Amino acid sequence: MNAAFLILSLLAVAGALLAIRLHNLVHATLSLMFFFVALAGLFVLLMAEFIAAVQILVYVGAVGILILFAIMLTPHVTGENHGRLCSRGWIWGLAGAGAVFLILIAPVLLMAGLDTPPATAALSPSVREIGLVLMTPYGIALLVMALLLTAALVGAVVAASPPARDKDEPKP
């Protein structure tokens, strides 16, 4: 248990760091995928098997691929991102991220009662139970989610499609 957590968390941190650190965009995306997989492993440790499966399906199978596709549609087909990696004023960004980190970590270290062992559950919840909860009390949220995804689908198509050309202009 301990070893699994240690390995997975190290993988996750390394994956995340490399993802924002690497010059090559494709490599960065690849390490982002490793981060996603490591996080799915952590979900399994936390007894959320179903969420882990969804994590891999959505993040590795869809979001990661989508990012690669987007990179291929920008000029960086080779993935090389020459020039400065950091934007101007990056030092302020670093300071901001550091400050947020301190604020997040302070209560974790200071508050008592966070080092209790987990409540023992025999098994991770079955998909059937999750499904029942999802369909009854969270039904309205599910509907809203469906609406949101539809809107996102339409929005993505509209945003990514090239601007309409005049009818007179011959098609290429």
Partner 1 sequence: MVTLQHYLILSAVLFSIGLLGVLTRRHAVIVLIGIEIMLNAANLNLIAFWRFGPHLENFEGLLFTLFSIAVAAAEASVGLALVIAVYRHFKTPDVEKMNTLRE
Partner 2 sequence: MPDIHPIYLVAAIPLFPLAMSLVIALLKPTRGRAASFLALLGLGVSLVLSLYVLKLSLQEPGLVQTGGFPWIQLGPLPVDFSVIIDPLSASMLAMVTFIGFLIFFYSGSYMADDPDCARFFGYLSLFAAGMLGLVISNSLLLLFMCWEIVGLASYLLIGFWYQKPAAAAAAKKAFITTRIGDLFLFIGLLWAFKDGGTLLFYYHGNGLLEPGRVAWLAGIPAPVFGLSVAGVISLLIFAGAVGKSGQFPLHVWLPDAMEGPTPVSALIHAATMVAAGVFLVARTYPLFVADPAVLTVVAWVGGFTALFAGLVAVAQNDLKRILAYSTVSQLGMMMLGLGVGGVGAGMFHLLSHAFFKALLFLAAGSIIHGCHGEQDIRKLGGVARSMPLTTVCYLCGTFALCALPFGSGYFSKDEILLAAWHNNPGVFVLGAAAAFCTSFYMTRQLCYVFPGNHRSHAHPHESPWRITAPLVVLSLFALAFGGLARHWGILEYLEPGFHAPEHSSLVMAVGLAVALGGILAGWLVYGRRALPVGEPDAVAVTLPPVYRFLENRAWMDELYMATVGRIWGALAALAVVADLALNAVTDWTVLSIQNLSRTLAIYSDRVLIDQWGFDGLCRAVRGAGFLSTRAQNGQLQGYLRFITLGAVALGLLLGWALLRG
Partner 3 sequence: MILDNPDQLIVNLVQQGLDLLSGFPIVVLVLCLLLSTVPLIAIFPACFAITTWLERKGLARIQNRIGPNRAGWFGLLQPVADGIKMLLKEDIVPRAGDQLTHFLAPVLLLVPAFTVLAVLPFSRNMTPAAADTGVILFFAIGSVSTLPVFLAGWSSHNKYSLLGGMRAIAQMVSYEIPLVLSTVTVVMLTGSLNTVRIVEAQQVSSWVLGDNAALQILGQVLKWNVFTPWGFIGFLIFFVASLAEVNRCPFDLPEADSEIVAGHLTEYSGFKYALFFMAEYISAFAISGLAVTLFLGGWSGPNIRPWWSDDPQALLIPGFVWFFLKMFALILAMIWIRGTLPRLRVDHLMGFAWKFLMPLALLNIFVAGAYYYLPRWIGWPAGFVVLYVCYEWLGRINRGSLGPKRTYRYA
165's contact among partner 3, partner 2, partner 1, none, with CB below 5 to 8 A by partner kind, is: none
Cα distance from N-terminal residue to C-terminal residue, the chain? 60
- Chosen residue from 1, 69, 74, 89 binding partner 2 by CB under 8 A: 89
Residue 154 backbone phi and psi in degrees, to 5: -65, -45
Site for partner 1 in 24-53 (CB under 8 A): 25, 28-29, 32, 35-36, 39, 42-43, 45-48, 50-51
Q: CB–CB of 35/67 below 8 Å?
A: no
- Which residues have C-beta within 8 Å of that of residue 34, sequence separation ≥ 6? 11, 14, 15
Site for partner 2 in 142-161 (CB under 8 A): 143
- Chosen residue from 21, 61, 100, 151 binding partner 3 by CB under 8 A: 61
Site for partner 1 in 115-134 (CB under 8 A): 115-119, 121, 125, 129-130, 133-134
- Calculate the CA dihedral of residues 73, 78, 82, 86 and round it to 10 degrees: 60
By CB under 8 A, is residue 150 in contact with partner 3? no
